């Protein structure tokens, strides 16, 4: 017998919300001869990120304790479109079928499979557009950075090199340019290393 997990979320604890969601889901599972493995109930507002019962359901799915997931509506299950798509992809990889009662979507049926394929295709398309935009932004940022932050040639180095090539000592150059001897020495050697 196939094991089904029922998930529902309510922002209130009133009886009406229970009747409109949970009872039809139980009847649906019973009519299809499913064994209800567990009912995961989050009594929490839609905008809250933390959903302990949804996390438990996902944990049980990863452990392959269930074969199906039944929800009342997409918006009662997922936090966002992205979350829904990622979850459906995970279920697909785990060979878990997904049913949304209100939208009449069942990923075990041919129509449901086509819909899932379309959702995944749009997800990939959206992902590739975002990646392309990010690549373009990085390319633009690199060009801009090179233009704005190109290191300026230190005119002191060129002067130091010229004086050194006229056989002046580092001490004399330092005195003439009012710099530390170590500074003159380091700049000269750094320049010579970059020329190699």
Give the residue numbers marked as catalytic.
11
CA distances, 183 to each of 35, 60, 77, 86, 193 (Å): 80, 66, 66, 58, 15
* 78 vs 55: CA distance, rounded Å: 12
* 147 vs 144: CA distance, rounded Å: 5
Residues 6+ apart with CB under 8 A from 123: 82, 85, 89
* 104 vs 100: CA distance, rounded Å: 6
Residues 6+ apart with CB under 8 A from 21: 8, 10, 72, 76
């Amino acid at each position: 017998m196939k094991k089904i997990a029922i998930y529902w979320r309510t922002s209130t604890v009133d009886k009406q919300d229970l009747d409109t969601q949970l009872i039809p889901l139980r009847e649906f599972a019973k009519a299809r001869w499913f064994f209800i493995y567990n009912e995961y109930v989050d009594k929490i507002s839609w905008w809250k990120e933390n959903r302990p019962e949804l996390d438990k359901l996902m944990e049980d799915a990863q452990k392959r304790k269930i074969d199906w997931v039944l929800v009342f509506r997409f918006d009662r299950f997922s936090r966002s479109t992205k979350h829904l798509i990622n979850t459906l992809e995970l279920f697909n990889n785990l060979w878990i079928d997904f049913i949304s009662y209100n939208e009449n979507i069942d990923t075990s049926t041919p129509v449901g499979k086509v819909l899932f394929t379309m959702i995944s295709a749009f997800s990939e398309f959206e992902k590739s557009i975002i990646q392309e935009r990010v690549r373009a932004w990085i390319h633009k940022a690199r060009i801009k950075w090179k233009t704005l932050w190109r290191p300026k040639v230190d005119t002191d180095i060129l002067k130091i090199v010229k004086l050194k090539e006229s056989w002046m000592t580092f001490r004399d150059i330092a005195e003439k340019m009012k710099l530390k001897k170590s500074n003159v020495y380091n700049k000269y050697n750094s320049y010579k290393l970059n020329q190699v």
